[in-house]
């Protein structure tokens, strides 16, 4: 069925739905089979309301939405886990650098830039994990 317009006897224009083949190829292929657009739309809306209010439909819809929600959370949990592992590695690296600096102050110039980079990386990871710097 496709939307169309038709003129009545008094010149008024009516919205209708009619067979798509009839509209495109003519009456040799199909009959018009028209129906008032208002009547068809009201029927469709009433039928949708009836189906949506059925208890088993609501249960099925809720189950589907819960499945989709769980499936949507899974990649986020994986990303959070990956960020947490990276954060732990970076913290360990920072601790190692600090220990090296404390053991040998002569290495301060060599490792101070690396320490700054690791602290920046840690801040970035913390921001990505919780949306705010810690």
Task: Name which of 26-30, 68-72, 92-96, 119-123 the model is least confident about.
Answer: 26-30
pLDDT at 64: 92
**pLDDT band of 133, cuts 50, 70, 90:** low
pLDDT at 10: 87
Q: Above 70 in pLDDT, residue 132?
A: no
32-49 tens-digit pLDDT: 678 899 999 999 999 999
Q: Above 80 in pLDDT, residue 101?
A: no
How many whole angstroms separate alpha carbon 62 and alpha carbon 57? 9
Backbone region of residue 7 per phi and psi (left: phi > 0; alpha: psi in -120 to 50; beta: other values): beta
């Amino acid at each position: 069925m496709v939307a169309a317009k038709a003129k009545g006897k008094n010149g008024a224009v009516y919205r209708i739905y009619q067979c798509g083949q009839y509209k495109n190829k003519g009456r040799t292929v199909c009959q018009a089979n028209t129906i008032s657009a208002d009547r068809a739309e009201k029927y469709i809306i009433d039928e949708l309301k009836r189906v949506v209010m059925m208890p088993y439909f609501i249960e099925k819809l809720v189950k589907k939405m819960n499945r989709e929600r769980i499936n949507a959370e899974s990649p986020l949990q994986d990303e959070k886990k990956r960020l947490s592992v990276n954060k732990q590695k970076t913290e360990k690296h920072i601790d190692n650098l600090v220990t090296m600096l404390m053991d040998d102050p002569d290495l301060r110039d060599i490792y101070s830039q690396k320490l700054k980079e690791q602290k920046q990386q840690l801040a970035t990871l913390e921001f990505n994990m919780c949306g705010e710097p810690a």
